Amino acid sequence: MSTRKRLIAIIDDEFDIAQLFHDALVTINGFSVFAFTDPITALEHFAANRDNYVIIISDLKMPSINGMDLVKKIKELNPFVRTILMTAFAIKDDLFQEYAKKGIINGFLQKPIHLADLYTEGNNLLHNYELQKQKLLIKIK
């Protein structure tokens, strides 16, 4: 992969959760991790840095914009970024299922989240991101 900085964002309106995940993921070499408690601010940062983002981890229920709307907007800006949606609530939602089938939502974590599960899901999506980028490069050649 190129030498440009790769970014990960954690978006959760609960500061403690955003900070915990940030602190856990900031140890990964080669990535800068941002924690946001405001989804609008996160979307603005993403829009300004869309080509450098690799993974977005977002809570489902947040004020101003919910996680599904947020990841949809993010995928419109960069379809290659991998998205993980997390929630403490049961999801029985047709839109969630549709977004998962269309690849708008790439992963899901049920709160409370064990950090080992966060790492596993993140690594799986990072691998998937790298494969998608390689396929694009092959098509361009």
Rounded CA-CA distance 84/125 in Å is 9
pLDDT digits (tens, 9 = 90+) for 76-105: 999 999 999 998 877 777 888 888 889 899
Rounded CA-CA distance 33/94 in Å is 31
* 102 in a structural domain: yes
CATH number at residue 135: 3.40.50.2300
Residue 14 has pLDDT above 80, yes or no: yes
Which residue range(s) make up the domain with 97? 6-140
Rounded CA-CA distance 27/50 in Å is 22
* 88 in a structural domain: yes
Rounded CA-CA distance 98/76 in Å is 16
* 46 in a structural domain: yes
Query: How far does CA 13 lie from the centroid of its chain?
Result: 15
* 26 in a structural domain: yes
Give me the mean pLDDT over the 32-50 stretch.
Answer: 97
* 61 in a structural domain: yes
Tally the domains of the chain: 1
The H or E element that residue 44 is part of is helix 39-48
> What's the whole-model pTM score?
0.84
